[in-house]
A and B are shown apart, each in its own frame.
Chain A
Amino acid sequence: MTAASGTVARIEALRSAEMRRKRGWTLLFGAILALLVALSAYQGEVSWSKLVNGLPRLGTYIGRILPDLSLRSLGPDLADWMWNLPTWLSLLFDTLLIAFVSTVMGAVIGFFLSFPATRNLGFGPVTAQVVRRFLELLRTVPELVFALFFVFAFGLGPMAGVLAITLHTAGVLGKMFAEINETVSDRSLEGIVAAGATRDQVIRLGVVPQVAPAFISYVLLRFEINVRAASVIGFVGAGGIGQELMFVINQFIYHDISAILALLILTVALVDIVSEAIRHRIISSEVAHVPAAASQA
């Protein structure tokens, strides 16, 4: 009896010690978090009154941008809402083209830079490091910053946007391609080397056939991301639907805001669905490494 209660008491003591330890950590993390929130709120000029005043205004805003659609006159209402449809569709088409052209160019640049950035293809550690740092620079500078510079150098219009997204895409894809290259099985490469192949032939005949499905899959994923990027690149005058969208938002042309947003969301969803279907077909038809997760970078 006393032995059992002694065990219980010991376990209880251990439990309360553990609880105290955990509570200590929780308090410490809570205090750090509270401090960070207070600091950020001060730095970010957040205040309770702003929040209380701001959120109802969001409701009013959404109410204003929603179109007047009624079931009885749906056709004319829709036509009224989408009054500028041809212009918007042509701008959306431009946006898609910007994403397409820049994805292709970025993928080509990334493709050729990925091999020197791969450590096990015999380009040497210095080359790999230099190319990797260069790719890192390309993907750390946001597209919009590149676009700001390019608008100045190449003038207003899609060309600046295409080049800006191309550079960013090259940085992201070059790094991912290099990572895929490093997973290639050495056996097939040794077979080709044994047959007397040069380094270029090893890449062409040994590496590329193995990595191609994964490459294409990443390129398609990047295309989806670039459609979103191309839709805002117009904010700085670099082409696409962005400029029109910025204009109607800044001028408070309420119904046009919702019309363009609806078209944009529809386009993005459509692109995602098509691209996902192609990716699934590629992945199921070839036994290859499947991208684990979409990169957000």
Chain B
Amino acid sequence: MSPLPQARLEALHARYRGTVYPLPGPLWRGRLFWIGFTACFLAASAHLGLSPLRFWAGLGDLGIIAGQMWPPTHKGFLPEYLGALGETLAIAFLGTLAASLISLPLGFLGARNVIPNWLIHFSLRRGLDVVRGVDVLVWALIFVSVVGLGPFAGILAIAFNDTGVLAKIYAEAIENADRKASEAVRAAGGDEADVARLAILPQVFPVLISNSLYFFEANTRSATILGVVGAGGIGYFLADRIRVSAWSDAAFIILLILPTVAMIDVLSRWLRRLALGR
């Protein structure tokens, strides 16, 4: 197939404006957008002090680090590392469990079909937004200064942060529950508590469990770095080894973390499928 002759293209363009060649208006609007976007990107990079020169210089150092990471060693600290890894899992587990338990009543309170009062609904949702707006590491740092160094601060931080997200998801799941079951319980003479327990909870329970498991997965990842701010877990050792430039030890710890996270992912995916009955 040979391309159309120029004269034919011109004729087509005159007839179907904007299909053969773009119109100058949209064309330049698109070009200007990308020129502006690139300018913004370059200006932002310059403001942050990014430069190719620094990048190449740093890359050399990074290469040296990578070279010293092999072979990974534990220098006899394996029991400590495994203990810290267990602590990480414990933080994620207890944090998620606590958040789920707190989110359950909050979810019912925040659901419009259970509590029709818009004031409670609105203030609860905004409160949860505030909790959600800040990274879990900030809460961890704050809880460290409230209850002291250690995994307890990490558990509280995860519980607090996840309540902000889980309560909202729980509330939405409860709002989406089929209301026919609620009407049946009411018709049989049940009060609001009976409706919540016998009509809504059985419907939403699998969804709640599945979401909590998903958060357990995500929390296992965040719990690995809580130790950087002193809130327990393997992150403490990792940050410490990197600070003293013990690269092979750091590599060993990372090689411990990666399969653990992958294992929790597989386990949680299996349990989620079980909970949803699929």
Contacts and interface: CB of A to CB of B under 8 A. Distances in A.
Interface string B116-127: 000000000000
A162 B48 contact: yes
Interface of B: 1, 40-41, 44-45, 47-50, 54-55, 58-59, 61-62, 65, 83, 86-87, 89-91, 93-94, 97, 129-130, 133-135, 137-138, 141-143, 145-147, 150-152, 154-156, 214-215, 218, 221-222, 224-225, 228-229, 232, 238-239, 242-243, 245, 254, 258, 261-262
| Residue from A41, A45, A195, A252 having most chain B Cβ neighbours under 10 A | A45
Contacts of B134: 228, 231, 261, 264-265, 268
B86 A43 contact: yes
Contacts of B243: 148
A98 B154 CA distance: 26
| Residue from B58, B93, B137 having most chain A Cβ neighbours under 10 A | B137
A109 B28 CA distance: 26
Contacts of A142: 221-222, 224-225
B165 to A, nearest CB: 8
Which applies to chain A's interface (DSSP): helix, strand, loop or mixed?
Answer: helix
A37 B93 CA distance: 8
Contacts of B133: 228, 264-265, 268-269
Contacts of A39: 90
Interface of A: 36-37, 39-41, 43-46, 50, 53-54, 57-58, 61, 94, 97-98, 100-101, 104, 137, 140-142, 144-145, 148-150, 152-155, 157-159, 162, 195-196, 228-229, 231-232, 235-236, 239, 245-246, 249-250, 252, 257, 261, 264-265, 268-269, 296-297
Contacts of B146: 54, 57-58, 61
Given A44-B155, A101-B44, A158-B49, A37 B94 contact: yes
Contact of A104 (B41, B55, B218): B41
Contacts of B143: 58
B50 A162 contact: yes
A264 B132 CA distance: 12
Contacts of A296: 214-215, 218
Contact of A40 (B83, B93, B138, B228): B93
B218 A297 contact: yes
